[in-house]
Amino acid sequence: MSQEQPTYYINSKQSLFSLNLKEVWAYRDLLYMLVKRDFVTFYKQTVLGPLWFIVQPLLTTVIYIILFGNIAKLSTDGLPQILFYLSGITVWNYFSESLTKTSTVFTANAGMFGKVYFPRLIMPLSIVASALMKFAVQFGIFLAVLLYYVLFTDTVHPNSWILLTPLLILLMAMFALGMGMIFSSLTTKYKDLTFLLTFGTQLFMYITPVVYPISALPEKLRFLAVFNPLSSVFECFRYAFLGAGSFDLMNLIWSSIFIFALLIIGTVIFNKVEKSFMDTV
């Protein structure tokens, strides 16, 4: 009579809700290398190199001034057009780049994932961190222009809400990370969602107060801005640095709760898909 052999099951010890930050910290050197790689490889073969960090927002601001300021005559709440549009572009660029690149993290890095183990969360975190470097440069340009207007004009009035800037950056990073992980998980099976996200991100910019203030919306439609979690972030940013806008602290609190919940959902989906995505990409 043969003795029955035990059956072994290999299962992941990682919870669906786990960010596994301890292991991520252990691989912090890899995170640094990925951030450095993104910076070097993207600009190594360009003529202007890192100067694109400066040229891109300035050119976009000029275009917005012509199209939305002079042709469409959109309101800027009485603020100088260059400051109004540059503030929106600076914030939006960070969010949109983090979102679009995070949304392809599985498909774009399938080769690396299939060869070596490391915490998969490292990849989306490296994208958000890389985009933060670009944001820092563009934010510096915005501060330089703002300083000129503060010293030589009386059109802008920065206030103590500037202290919320780290929170606003964190909220944008969390929102982009949460949404990006959801779309990245979905694109492992439905790759055409990448095109939908590209179009959706462009459309989302126009329902976010990037090129117009909430006060420019018809009175009966302004309440809809509350349902966009980025609206309060943009309005708070402008109100803090420029002293104009319709900033509401309760709306910012609501946005923070929504974004945190979205990050949890994105983490759950990401942790679930990472265990089997190599079978579908």
Cβ-contact 225, 210 below 8 angstroms: no
Q: Are 76 and 84 in contact (CB under 8 A)?
A: yes
**Residue 113 structure tokens:** 């994932």
The amino acid that residue 3 corresponds to is Q
Instruction: List the structure tokens of 232.
Output: 């309060």
Interatomic CA distance for residues 243 and 258, integer angstroms? 26
pLDDT by 10s per residue, the chain, length 281:
455 555 544 445 555 555 566 777 788 888 888 888 777 776 665 655 667 778 888 999 999 999 999 999 998 998 999 999 999 999 999 999 999 988 888 777 767 776 777 777 888 888 898 889 889 989 999 999 999 999 999 999 999 999 999 999 999 999 999 999 898 888 877 777 777 888 889 899 989 999 999 888 888 878 788 789 999 999 999 999 999 887 889 999 999 999 999 999 998 888 888 766 544 45
Distance CA 131, CA 203 (A): 21
Residue 97: how many other CB atoms lie within 10 Å:
19
Instruction: Give pTM, 2 decimals.
Output: 0.86
